[in-house]
Amino acid sequence: MEQFDNWFDLIISKDLMTVSINCKEDCPIDFDCSKEDLIRYLVSKKIKYGIIDEELTRLLDANKTLQDSITIVKGKPPEKGMDGFIHYIGEQSIRIEQEKKKSFRDVTKIPSVKEGEKLAYITNATAGEKGINILGEIVDPIPGKPLKIRAGKNVRFDEQENTFFATANGQLSFGEKVIHVHPLFEIKGDLSLKTGNLDFVGSVTIYGNVPTGYSVKAEGDVRIFGLVEAAYIKAGGSVQISEGIAGLKKGTVQAGLDIKIGYINQAKIEAGRDIIVENSILHSDCVAQNNIRCQNGNIIGGILSAGKIIEAKDIGNKMNTKTDLAFGINTKLKEQEKELHTRKKDLITNKMKLEIIGNSLTDKEKLGLSSKEKILLLKQRHSMEKTSLQLEEVTQELDLLEVQIGDLEGMKLIVKGRLYSNVYISFGKYLRKITKTRQYVSATLNSREITIQSL
């Protein structure tokens, strides 16, 4: 076996999954060696699994003429587990197909469900398949990530069937980590003095316009089949405005999830996920935690901030109107995260104080408590339960924030038409001013430098 060390170089991979062999300069042209000798040599090096018989034959046949290394041993790599995922039941698109339209105004349908209806089911994450390295050792796989999604309002989760069911009639709303069924409130016409401002715990649908000065608030989704002027729209779910918003620098739209709108003019827009605009964005402040997509129009003026992608046909104009595009974390989220951490710290401190009081009263309970102490113990237990619940809610909110807050990796500007001068592009602390018009380009951050490439 000693001569084999003089004849061959064994190259063992760091993950102990492959062994390659090279012939050294001292290897004789007609060395006397059998396949069995090579196997015994490998075994002497504690290589027990994955020896490839055909490659050993090739090595012996090649002899001194071997130019490159040959992989003669291959282990069995572990197979990563499959991540858990959710199957949605029924069509989720809000678009009505052309052949199903009764008139040109039929562009959207509202996804509604009835009590007891099956909404979605989960396929659990798998553990993966174990591997074996060249030493014959078992290699544990990386398990799949479990899906984190829970039943929200008017939804129950059946653990035996791994399925979500509606517990009330209403509008279906899928969030990042929660499924809700919101009761639906409808207005047949424009908002007026007859209807007043709207503040509803479910979802709101308005078949008309929202004039200047009115406000619409909903914990679910807001759908407006008309025009929004200098009004205030806020939804815990998504917002859809079929025509657009002429905000006169006062109009505001906020959504916990997506905003889909015809156009945006002089308005403030904020989405927890995506802003999707059919036409143009003009002189507006827009913030999307994920993407801003201006499908068929331009972005001119204003300040746009996105967590992932900004996409438009043209950005800026021939008059060189200043337009700011920012990629990174929304400062509002930073402040919200800071406030939640402060609140969590206060709740933990309060919980510790309540535990001390509770332990003291529990010890006294064995000897007998006075009426005053019994009342204090009841109050302590109630406060403890309330504080624990609040702490759990704050922790869940922080978890959701951590999902939304990302780094600069993967962020991108896409311009399918012209990128005019006097457009400012920033990725975090890095800033670049466009000084000449470009066409069909994208911008990304590479090695701390904003680079512009052709599409």
Q: Cα(263)–Cα(294) distance, rounded to whole angstroms? A: 9
Query: Residues 31-74: pLDDT tens digits?
Result: 667 888 888 888 888 988 998 888 888 877 766 556 678 888 99
pLDDT of residue 103: 37
d(CA 336, CA 387): 20
- Three-state secondary-structure class, residue 157: strand
Average pLDDT over residues 304-311: 91
Spell out the residues 6+ positions from residue 453 whose beta carbon is closer than 8 angstroms to its own.
441, 442, 443, 444
- Only one residue has tokens 């000798």, namely 37
CA torsion through residues 166, 170, 171, 174, sign: negative
DSSP string, 255-282: ESS-EEES-EEEEEEEESS-EEESS-EE
274: pLDDT confidence band, cut at 50, 70 and 90? very high
Q: Taking the complete model, does pTM exceed 0.95, yes or no?
A: no
pLDDT at 29: 62
Residue with tokens 């992989």: 71
Separation between Cα atoms, residue 417 and residue 440, nearest integer Å: 5
Quick one: pLDDT band at residue 357, thresholds 50, 70, 90?
Answer: confident
Query: In percent, how much of the chain has pLDDT > 90?
Result: 47
The predicted pLDDT at position 375 comes to: 86
In DSSP terms, which residues pair with 150 in a beta bridge? 178
Q: Where do the structural domains in the chain lie, given as residue ranges?
A: 2-74, 85-130+142-181, 201-330+410-454, 337-391
* Domain made up of 85-130+142-181: CATH architecture: Beta Barrel (2.40)
Residue range 361-387: average pLDDT?
Answer: 84
Residue range 194-198: average pLDDT? 84
